[in-house]
Amino acid sequence: MAQRSTPKAHGLHTLLDAGQRLTGHIGEGVGYVSAALLVVLTLSVLLGIAMRSAHIDNSWTYDVDLFALVWVAFVGAAYTAMRGEHVTSGVAIENVLPRWHNILQILRFVIVAVFLVVFMVSGYVQFLDSVQAHETTLDVMSWPVWVATLALPTGALLWLVAEIHHALLRLAARRN
C-alpha cells in the first residue's frame, strides 16, 4: 500500500529539495572562485620570481601572494567541506556507537555550526576594525588590509553553507 503525503509534508520536501539545490549551486560557485584564486596566487608567485630575477622591485607581489593565499585557504576550505573531502579523523564516533548515529550527527552539526558562526562574527569584527583603521600594506601599492580580513567571515559563511548542504542531504536520505 502506497503512503500518501500530506500537503504540509510535500511542502517541506519541496523546501528541502530547493535548499539542497541552492547550497549545491553555491558550492559549485565556490569551487570556481577557489580555482581562480589559485591561478592568481600561482601567477603572482611566478611574476614575483621573474621580477626578482630581473632585479625589479616586486614588493607588491608579496602582498598579492599573501592576500590570494588567505582567500584560497578560507574559500578552499569551504569548497573541500562542500565536497566532503576535508581531512577528518580515521574513526568517527558515530561508527563506534551505531545506535547513537543520528544524535551524534546532529551534535556534530551543532558544534561545527556554532564554531563557524563564532568564527564568522570574529572575522567580521576584524574586517570592520581594519576598515575603520584604514589599514594598508607597507609597499608602494598600499593595498587595503580589509581585502584579506574579509576572507575570514566569507570563508566561515561558505563553510556553514556546506555544512547545511550536508545536513539537508542527510535529511533527504532519511526520508527515502
Per-residue model confidence as pLDDT tens digits over 40-74: 999 999 999 999 999 998 888 888 999 999 999 99
Residue 69 falls within a domain, yes or no? Answer: yes
**Per-residue cell: 83:** 565536497
2 belongs to a structural domain: no
pLDDT at 1 over 50: no
User: What is the pLDDT, as a whole number, of residue 55?
Assistant: 93
Residue 49 included in any domain: yes
- pLDDT tens digits for 4-34? 556 666 666 788 888 888 888 898 899 999 9
Q: Based on the structure, what is the number of domains in the chain?
A: 1
Q: Is 133 inside any structural domain?
A: yes
In-domain check, residue 36: yes
Domain with 63 in it: 7-175
Q: For 97-144, write each residue's pLDDT tens digit.
A: 778 777 888 888 899 899 999 999 999 999 999 999 999 988 777 889
> What integer pLDDT is reported at residue 35 of this predicted model?
93
- CA 122 to CA 125: how far, in whole Å? 5
Which pLDDT band holds residue 95 (cuts at 50, 70, 90)? low
- Asked if residue 94 has pLDDT above 70, the reply is no
Helix orientation angle between 101-132 and 151-175, rounded to the nearest 10 degrees: 160
**Amino acid of residue 27:** G
Whole-number Å distance between alpha carbons of 59 and 48: 8
Least confidently predicted of 1-10, 30-39, 146-155: 1-10
Asked, for residue 85, whether it belongs to a domain, the answer is yes
Task: Provide the β-strand partners of residue 144.
Answer: 136
Q: How many CA atoms are closer than 13 Å to the CA of 51, on its beta-carbon side?
A: 13
On whether the pTM is more than 0.85, the answer is: no
> What span, in angstroms and rounded, lies between the C-alpha atoms of 119 and 108?
16
Higher pLDDT, 9 or 162: 162
Mean pLDDT taken over the chain: 85
- In this structure, is residue 103 part of a structural domain? yes
Residue 90 has pLDDT above 60, yes or no: no
pLDDT of residue 88: 56
For residue 91, the model assigns a pLDDT of 52
Please indicate, yes or no, if residue 86 is contained in any of the structural domains. Answer: yes
